[in-house]
């Protein structure tokens, strides 16, 4: 090998090192860019992913749909001590109710 260090200059003389560089190079570059993005406070987004307005809108829509479904089922939760599955209207066994309590 030559005395030159850095880059791919010395890799051309070593077939195995060149092959490894060709396969690992793009992933190493991607990892370095991701690391630099995290370290750079001007470009990194420190907001939590659940703070996005689209996710909050979707969550609100899902909650309202659930509330509407429960209201349409009527007095499902007022059937005495029975635990009823919302989607099938099946009454759970007493052992299930006991374990949940």
Are 55 and 61 in contact by the 8 Å Cβ rule? The answer is no
Place of tokens 């907001």: 47
Are 29 and 21 in contact by the 8 Å Cβ rule? The answer is no
User: Could you give the 3-state DSSP secondary structure of residue 91?
Assistant: strand
Tell me the per-residue pLDDT of 42-83, one tens digit each, with 9 for 90 and over. 655 667 777 788 888 899 999 999 888 878 776 555 556 677
pLDDT of residue 98: 81
């Amino acid at each position: 090998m030559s005395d030159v260090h850095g880059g791919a200059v010395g890799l051309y003389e070593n077939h195995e090192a060149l092959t490894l560089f060709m396969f690992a190079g793009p992933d190493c570059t991607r990892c370095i860019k991701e690391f630099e993005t995290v370290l750079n406070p001007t470009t990194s987004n420190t907001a939590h992913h659940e703070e996005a307005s689209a996710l909050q809108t979707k969550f609100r829509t899902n909650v309202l749909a659930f509330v509407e479904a429960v209201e349409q089922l009527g007095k499902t939760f007022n059937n005495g001590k029975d635990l009823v599955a919302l989607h099938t209207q099946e009454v759970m066994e007493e052992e299930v109710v006991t374990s949940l309590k």
